[in-house]
């Protein structure tokens, strides 16, 4: 079953990632083959109070479509009001975060905290479904801990109340990011529901994408794997279509993309934050490249975008 008007076969999703999946990064991943992107999570309480930082997180453009806006919260009234407000931005869907594991959110009953009481989860999700004509999806984990795996129940509940897709990060809340994502649950979820099922967790290369589809997923969502290799989307699509591998991007391609991404960041956030907030992406662009120690030190201190671009081009020239 498609998500609203989105009818893409075997779509690859860019995962919502707080302070990572901002507009510039979404555009870059889109350019490199991500079919569907989702904003980082936005607090429903902050949304209804028009907090500027939160509004910036959900600023979307047509080039990013199809796109989902992700919200989190535990109050039915606030989630419902936030969903109504989001309608004006016309995202392709609203995603509800039922998976955030951090103590700050989960122990307050938000994010993965909703997995502790499926009655609460049902009420919160249902309040959003009822208050919007947009398709509603949810993103969650297997359960609170390994003694309380509830994902099959979650799937049945949300399917009944009209949710259009279910993304499962195949870890428990207790795991955080430890251990390995347990993809074997995807087959069980597939059997339990006819929901549009999006597999997530530890997908880093084309073989992982293929395996996740073999587990019965309708879509695959990639987070950290895209941060260290935003080319993973086009690489996976090519592999699924032809069974062959695309050549890895050259250093020049990496540097060109890094510069384009940096320019988008400055356009989006202005000179200061556009440069400083961008620093988290360098590790991904230069992962596995030898002799980058000095380059990375320089990139962490330079503030002028033109100087950064010159430094990147110099590195390319020296390395070529």
Between 205 and 319, name the residue whose CB sits nearer to ligand FMN: 205
Scan for tokens 């080039």, then name that residue: 63
Select the residue whose beta carbon is closest to ligand FMN and give its number: 223
Per CB under 6 A, the segment of 12-20, 60-68, 207-215, 301-309 that binds ligand FMN is: 12-20
Per CB under 6 A, the segment of 114-122, 145-153, 217-225, 262-270 that binds ligand FMN is: 217-225
Options 26, 30, 105, 139; binder of ligand FMN; rule CB under 6 A: 139
Options 224, 260, 279, 311; binder of ligand FMN; rule CB under 6 A: 224
Q: How far is the CB of 175 from ligand FMN (least distance, A)?
A: 11
Binding flag, residue 68, ligand FMN (CB under 6 A): no
Q: Which of residues 13-52 bind ligand FMN (CB under 6 A)?
A: 15-18, 20, 40-41
To the query of whether residue 29 is one of the catalytic residues in this protein, the response is no
Compute the radius of gyration of the chain from its Cα atoms: 20
Residues 69-108 as x/- pattern, contact with ligand FMN by CB under 6 A = -x--------------------------x-xx--------
Options 127, 175, 200, 265; binder of ligand FMN; rule CB under 6 A: 200
Binding flag, residue 115, ligand FMN (CB under 6 A): no
Q: Of 100, 170, 217, 258, which residue is the catalytic one?
A: 100
Binding interface with ligand FMN (CB under 6 A): 15-18, 20, 40-41, 70, 97, 99-100, 139, 169, 200-203, 222-225
């Amino acid at each position: 079953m498609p998500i609203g008007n989105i009818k893409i076969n075997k779509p690859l999703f860019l995962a919502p990632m707080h302070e990572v999946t901002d507009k510039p990064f979404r555009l870059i991943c889109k350019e490199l083959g991500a079919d569907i992107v989702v904003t980082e999570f936005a607090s429903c309480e902050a949304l209804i109070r028009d907090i500027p930082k939160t509004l910036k997180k959900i600023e979307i453009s047509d080039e990013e479509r199809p796109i989902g806006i992700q919200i989190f919260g535990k109050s039915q009234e606030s989630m419902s009001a936030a969903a109504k407000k989001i309608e004006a931005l016309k995202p392709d869907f609203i995603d509800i975060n039922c998976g955030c594991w951090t103590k700050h959110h989960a122990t307050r009953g938000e994010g993965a905290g909703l997995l502790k009481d499926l009655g609460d989860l049902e009420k919160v999700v249902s309040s959003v479904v009822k208050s919007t004509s947009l398709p509603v999806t949810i993103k969650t984990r297997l359960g609170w801990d390994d003694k309380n795996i509830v994902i099959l129940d979650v799937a049945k509940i949300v399917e009944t109340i009209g949710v259009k897709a279910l993304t499962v990060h195949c870890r428990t809340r207790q795991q955080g990011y430890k251990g390995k994502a347990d993809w074997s649950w995807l087959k069980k979820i597939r059997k339990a529901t006819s929901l549009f099922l999006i597999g997530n967790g530890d997908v880093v290369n084309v073989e992982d994408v293929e395996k996740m589809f073999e587990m019965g997923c309708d879509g695959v969502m990639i987070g950290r794997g895209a941060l260290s290799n935003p080319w993973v989307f086009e690489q996976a699509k090519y592999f699924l279509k032809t069974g062959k591998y695309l050549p890895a991007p050259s250093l020049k391609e990496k540097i060109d993309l890094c510069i384009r991404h940096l320019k988008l960041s400055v356009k989006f956030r202005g000179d200061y934050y556009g440069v400083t907030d961008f620093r988290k992406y360098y590790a991904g662009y230069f992962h596995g490249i030898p002799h980058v120690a000095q380059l990375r030190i320089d990139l962490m201190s330079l503030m002028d975008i033109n100087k950064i671009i010159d430094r990147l081009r110099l590195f390319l020239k020296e390395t070529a």
